[in-house]
Chains A and B, each alone.
Chain A
């Protein structure tokens, strides 16, 4: 790991991402099937309005979820 990268976990998978990314910026980098997602960082929901001000930190565990068919 260099100074420019941090190690995080996204949806259970380890991933190296650029340091100093906000949640908003991270979502733009990731290939999402839909913009309709919700994001949790370390089990806490990050509401959409806080995506631009929330910095992803080294070691963070992220969950990115979307809607799928269900009963």
Chain B
């Protein structure tokens, strides 16, 4: 007769904490991109498989002679997903601010709540796609002044992260590694410092790892270190099976979050046996 386990507090098996980013309370900690999919259909299925409730979107010049006729908005249910417009491709603060205003304008027309916020990205160089910290800071300041909730893409520099929080960024979003590189979180130490510094006074200040994720374990690591969420695009869109990878990301993020909440064991240089060391039947000279 087996003793039945005492009942588990089921709330501990799921992460019930809400993920508040500026005006929005998100049920998923995964924010997914809409770029680089082989088709709008695959994108749509990936969003569904990821169980995300927020997807990023870019602002570009309208192609005035598009024969295709299909528009991405026909494949995103704007009643279901909060759109997060980005300023991707901007290399100076002025252009990024203009881009943010235009994104907001379109989302207001669409009646999508995403008009409230923006993913600010101001790049410094096209080969690394690393952010330009000075232009990013200037643009962030201006957008905060214009009452945007600014989710700010930045490098993994703790000091820069502090500066962005100080000038009113709603969320700081350090890159794990360069955009689209798939290298994962390269500098665990810096990310840990960023999390500690940004959350020292307010545990709920959202830090989202944005860029560099290659596979589900990368997303899990970001979450285990204590990030509040992960924003990714290429790792799913560029995978051989994007829909499957989207699901893997969902699990990776949930696993990482639970592991963070549970609290990992400290790392140790030497082994610690799991089975008792007394009563072993073999007589072995202790070394």
Residue from the set B33, B62, B70 with the largest chain A CB neighbour count within 10 Å? B62
Q: Is A18 close to B, CB under 8 A?
A: no
Kindly state the separation between the CA atoms of A12 and B69 in the bound complex, as whole angstroms.
Answer: 22
Among candidates B68, B83, B86, B108, residue contacting A71 with C-beta atoms closer than 8 Å: B86
Residue of A nearest to B64 (CB): A30
Chain B hits for A11, CB < 8 A: 61-62, 64
Q: Is A32 close to B, CB under 8 A?
A: yes
Kindly state the separation between the CA atoms of A44 and B67 in the bound complex, as whole angstroms.
Answer: 29
Check if A71 sits within 8 Å of B233, measured CB to CB: yes
Check if B179 sits within 8 Å of A71, measured CB to CB: yes
Q: Is B26 close to A, CB under 8 A?
A: no
Chain A hits for B85, CB < 8 A: 67
Q: Is A38 close to B, CB under 8 A?
A: yes
**B-facing mask of A45-71, CB < 8 A → 1, else 0?**
101100000000000000111111111
Among candidates A10, A12, A36, A40, residue contacting B109 with C-beta atoms closer than 8 Å: A36
Kindly state the separation between the CA atoms of A13 and B245 in the bound complex, as whole angstroms.
Answer: 40
Chain A hits for B86, CB < 8 A: 70-71
Q: Is A2 close to B, CB under 8 A?
A: no
Chain A hits for B180, CB < 8 A: 71
Minimum CB–CB distance from B122 to chain A (whole Å) comes to: 15
With A48-B109, A68-B57, A69-B35 already in contact, the answer to whether A31 and B102 are too (CB < 8 A) is no
Check if A38 sits within 8 Å of B106, measured CB to CB: yes
20 A–B contacts, CB within 8 A, in A order? A37-B62, A38-B101, A38-B102, A45-B98, A45-B101, A48-B105, A63-B102, A65-B61, A66-B106, A67-B59, A67-B83, A67-B85, A67-B103, A68-B57, A68-B59, A68-B72, A69-B36, A70-B56, A71-B36, A71-B211
Pairs A-B, 10 closest by C-beta atoms: A70-B58, A71-B233, A71-B33, A38-B102, A69-B35, A69-B34, A38-B105, A34-B71, A11-B61, A70-B35
